[in-house]
Amino acid sequence: MDLFEKCYAPSRADQAREMDIYPYFHALETRQDVEVMMEGKRRIMLGSNNYLGLTVDPEVIEASIQALEQYGTGCSGSRFMNGTLELHLELEEELSKFLRKDGVVTFSAGFLSNLSIISALVGRHDYVICDRENHASIYDGCQLSFGKMLRYKHNDMADLERQLQKVPETAGILIVTDGVFSMGGDIANLPEIVRLAKQYGARTMVDDAHALGVIGEGGRGTASHFGLEDQVDIYMGTFSKTLASLGGYVATEARIADFLRHTARPFIFTASITPASCAAALASLRKLERHPELVTRLAELSTYAREGYKKRGVRIRESIADVPTPIVPLYTNDMVNTLATAKRLYDNGVYVNPVLPPAVPEADCLLRTSYMATHTEDLLDEAMDIIAKELGSA
């Protein structure tokens, strides 16, 4: 059999192209903002993870320019060797203070953060237990490790306990969950996860990629939201969302961080974060610290969007948390309807992200909308009117 045979087989992408509803790789011609020019037309951006709108902040841009001029375009090596800048250490120190953990390591991508942490910590005789709706990078981190992976039904604590009961007493256990789930926008039941972890002698890890700058005191994330900062062992997060850059981090106790620096292969063998990206993340973090009202504004707009969809008769997933997140899924069910609706919205000036299998079950396809602290109510009303019209005609 030819290795390349799979590449020539008919695919869903081919089907979508034939139906003129292919949704991917639309090209931006302007900055990542609440309104963009995309392929020659104005679009309201409801598909970005730029939660605080800092990708266009003048202070963040200026910090990137200064770092580029001072350090050049790249580090040409890994952090382990020649690729550590003073800027990297400064970012780690300030993240450590902000997140109230004494050990922070930064990575060149959020995806690499999960690969590094899980593969380094979960050994051959250990177990990692995951929520079924965890991000793909968590699953890949599990596969890269030598441990055994178990999964529990989404936010189902009874099923989590059933999985914990399967683990031999001699094995180490890491429970990993998204803090804010990237597709549904709901929040992990962290208090119960922490309780079960203590009961069964497990360690806990929270992926806060979509929680940093979104929930918790001053945007400190999921553990802060529940008052459990000193009871969660590991936080992981990214710089590509709230912090308007590229990269990722782990925040934990100093000894664990040092272990990861010396054993995590994706960290050791990957070039370090570029100077401009590092400076942008640091400037964004400082902006977040100085302006916690941005987090409040994001919550207000998220509530406004949820209430606006309800008023317009658009079906959304209800938020079970007292603080709404800026991820609001709109249910479109089957794949063709989802892609066709996304295409109509795009043509009418609203960009949203269609979510298809394997990210969701076949019958639960959806349009993922997300919001920024820099949106306005008027802009959201314009977008929601278009969405309500197009979903009504689906």
Active site residues: 182, 210, 241
Per-position b or e across 220-233, b if 16+ CB within 10 A of its CB:
bbbbbbbebbebbb
Helix (H, G, I), strand (E, B) or coil at 286: helix
CB neighbours of 298 closer than 8 A, spacing ≥ 6? 51, 52, 213, 214, 326, 371, 372, 373
Centre a 10 Å sphere on the Cβ of residue 153 and count the other Cβ atoms it contains: 14
Which neighbouring-strand residues pair with 204? Answer: 175
Q: What gap in Å lies between CA 202 and CA 251, rounded to an integer? A: 18
Q: What gap in Å lies between CA 257 and CA 270, rounded to an integer? A: 17
- Judge residue 347's burial from the number of C-beta atoms within 10 Å of its C-beta, 0-12 exposed, 13-18 middle, 19 or more buried: exposed
Which helix (H) or strand (E) segment is 225 a member of?
A: helix 222-226
Could you give the angle at the alpha carbon of 149 between the alpha carbons of 201 and 327, nearest 5°?
Answer: 95
Number of helices followed by number of strands (H, E) in the chain: 15, 13
